[in-house]
Chains A and B, each alone.
Chain A
Amino acid sequence: MTAWGALPMLAVMLPVLGMVLALPAGARGAERITLALLPVGIALAVGTAAAVQASGAPVVHLLGHWAPPLGLSFRADGLSAAMLLTAALVVAAVALFARAGFGTAAGAPETRAAFAFWPLLLALWGATNLVVVATDLFTLYVALELLTFAAMPIVCLDGKRATLEAALRYLMFALLGSVLYLLGVALIYGAYGTLDFVLLAGKARAEVPTYVAVALMTAGLLAKTALLPLHLWLPPAHAGAPPAASAILSALVVKGSFVILVRLWFGVMPGLAAPAAAQVLGALGAAAILLGSVAALRQERLKLLVAYSTVAQIGYLFLMFPLLVAAPGHEAFAAKTWTGGVLQAVSHAFAKASMFLAAGLIAARLGQDRIDGLAGAARLLPVPVAAFGLAGLSLMGVPPSGGFAAKWMLLTSAIEAGQWWWALVILGGGLLTGSYVYRVMAAALTGDGTQPALRRPDKREKIVLALALVSVVLGLLPLAAFGLVQVGRLDLAP
């Protein structure tokens, strides 16, 4: 139990409480609850980050004063703090953006989509926060379920047949992932008598049950993270989803299972991680970067291009694994890889949320989202198109941007680790990303000879631009600021 441990606890419980109260409150009440919680959530995330940074140690809250292994705890380390902040800001942006589509005017009858959207958004927020602060592998399972059962219906809110089919496919992948993860959890409990990953870190033995458990859990989490070849659910799920849902899905939902995977590999079983297995994960990541980018380049619809770009950008996250496995004994190098990976997750969250929302505005204005039909888009919608381009710079890894800092750290780590092949993949991926972003920008910047009609300024454009700017500005922060994400890294804990 540490001072300020209540901050991450409240960051989890308030959105969950909001989700529960949203049901009796109805669509309009749920919208108000959500809007009221946004500043609170941001303040809690900022407070958690400040407490972690100031104390240089994780902040811990013991539920009911029961300490693990008997009880459960919330523990916010640097990684948690970074993800809490990301989640709070992205959810705030998406909520403000979504008011135009899912808001309910005073006296207007409740609609199905508006009724469902707000509690689902709150559930996704609470679940994301829970994923990054829970320390018990079973509580994390509950968090993953909360994440899945909120993400699946929000993806098919439009209720069309194709969207429902895509959501059902997503559910199948996610449930397969849940089953595999739960099997692993049961084995871990049978082997060690505890599910708390902080306690497990000192106990894990190089034995068959441990390896089988971690292999099963890894496979399950990969399905939820949509790493190639388990990405098949992601592009169709995005195709018909509302832009706000796509933004949350790509920015936060797939990162949740990734954070658990990182904790499992480098928290629960540091030193047990097999280099060969880590190379396999790295190779899948590399394949995702290259094949996902090529697929993005070949898409006809803007939304699907952005979705395949998510498949590719997830791949970068998995380059962390072979590099961190090679890291023991090289503190500076491990720290750099870790920061690079976390920064990739965070900057991609902001960039991709911006891109999906921008694509949504463009599609709504043009009435379709074929890339060939984007001519004149830049004149009609200069701000969203500019935001799309800025976010694209971050995805490509062009300096100065968050994506550049992340990819640069991963690239130099790869060279220092003597694993130069990952550096080649990062460079190749950057070129391919540049190509598909250029394709969109070139089409959007082509004039179609018409003058845009006068229109009222849309507040949503500013939100989209702000998200893109955050993803760029992350690269301007001095690297010392990222000392935060090093706090409480389990494999470095004394």
Chain B
Amino acid sequence: MMADGLIAAAILGVALATIASRGTFTAVALFIAYGLLLSFAWVRLGAIDIALTEAAIGAGLSGALLLGAASRVAGRGAAMDRRPGRAMTVAIALGCAGVTAALAAAILLLPDPAPSLAPQVAANIGATGLGNPVAAVLMSFRGLDTLLESAVLVLAVIAAWSLAPDDAWGGKPGPMQPVLADGPLALLARLLPPLGILVAVHVLWIGKDAPGGKFQAAAILAAMWMLPWMAGRVVPPPISARWLRVAVAAGPALFIAIGLAGWMTQGAFLAYPPGLALPLIMVVEIALTASIAIALALLVIGPPGRRA
């Protein structure tokens, strides 16, 4: 109870500090702390899967993305945005306060205990062969949502690349990173990847029975690519590389193909043949992990820049 109160207060405090801070880097650093605190809150709520995802994607990769954006903005000396006038400020404050009050009222008035689909999930999980109810929801009961989210990642890569300058098309993505000979980053870039890849494989594999799974594993794998990239030790392949594009598309394409095969043999899209559910799900999980990891890393690295 005490711990919950402290976490809640810390989340509110860090959120406020994030908004109030004037410096871009300070705000981003606070935002990363905010994401980590949020994942503590999810742990306390017993939602370990969400906690892992929040830490990996919400704090980790989003943080890296925001830090990259902040350094680009700082480097270009972009003008600070115009501050809104007094009337606008008051209107924004009233609007936010109104939404907050309405949300608070609605949440306090929600039925208690909350209606839940957990019993139905428990009753049907046997058909999937999985032990982790979250994995069963993501890969079977609501497999369509997961499939579409993985397709959104392909779209995101296409969208990010579409912002490249025309003359850089087909080149290497992202800004050039200077090669770091020593220092903490250079050391970590050499030490961490073997360990991180091992952890990612573990997180992926236990995902069928315990919290974990492809998104968390993919985020860790992406980080293991980005570390040596930031240290200047690896150079990403050019975006025209066929294998790179195939790798990003392979996971979602395989998922859709298995879904369509389910329609042809079982009569419903994403229906798994009896007994084959678990092997098919694991094949999709592994393929998606690879594709998502590459897509996430490419999103953080960014579109190809202007040729020097």
Contact = CB atoms under 8 A, between A and B. Distances in A.
Interface stretch (A17-25, A291-299, A392-400): A17-25
Nearest to B146: A142
A145 interface: yes
Interface stretch (B27-35, B41-49, B155-163): B155-163
The size bracket of the interface on B is 35 or more
A1 B268 CA distance: 9
A115 B116 contact: no
B149 A20 contact: no
B166 A23 contact: no
Contacts of A120: 155, 158-159, 162
A242 interface: no
A485 B131 CA distance: 44
Nearest to A117: B162
A366 to B, nearest CB: 25
Contact of A130 (B103, B148, B149): B148
Given A64-B271, A142-B145, A123 B155 contact: yes
Interface stretch (B17-25, B136-144, B218-226): B136-144
Nearest to A122: B155
A254 interface: no
Tell me which of A64, A138, A150 has the highest count of chain B C-beta atoms within 10 A of its own C-beta. Answer: A64
Given A23-B249, A64-B262, A70 B117 contact: yes
Interface string A369-383: 000000000000000
B102 interface: yes
A215 B145 contact: no
Contact of B269 (A64, A69, A130, A159): A64
Nearest to A114: B169
B253 A159 contact: no
Tell me which of B106, B120, B143, B257 has the highest count of chain A C-beta atoms within 10 A of its own C-beta. Answer: B106
B308 interface: no
B265 interface: no
Tell me which of A1, A142, A207 has the highest count of chain B C-beta atoms within 10 A of its own C-beta. Answer: A142
Interface residues of A, number: 63
A139 interface: yes
B246 A194 contact: no
Contacts of B248: 23
B186 interface: no
A209 B145 contact: no
B155 to A, nearest CB: 5
Given A17-B256, A69-B120, A146-B155, A111 B166 contact: yes
Contact of B110 (A21, A159, A183, A190): A190
A37 to B, nearest CB: 14
Nearest to A146: B152
B246 A24 contact: yes
B166 A71 contact: no
B79 interface: no
A157 interface: yes
Tell me which of B148, B155, B257 has the highest count of chain A C-beta atoms within 10 A of its own C-beta. Answer: B155
A71 B120 CA distance: 10
Contacts of B157: 23
A153 to B, nearest CB: 4
Given A112-B162, A115-B161, A146-B151, A63 B144 contact: yes
Contacts of A62: 268
A212 to B, nearest CB: 4
A16 B151 contact: yes
The 7 nearest A-B residue pairs measured at CB = A193-B115, A116-B162, A212-B106, A153-B159, A209-B106, A64-B270, A24-B245
11 contacts: A17-B260, A20-B151, A23-B245, A23-B248, A62-B268, A65-B266, A146-B151, A149-B152, A190-B111, A190-B115, A193-B117
Given A65-B268, A193-B116, 14 more contacts: A1-B268, A16-B256, A19-B151, A19-B154, A24-B245, A62-B268, A123-B155, A142-B148, A183-B103, A187-B103, A187-B107, A191-B111, A193-B115, A212-B105
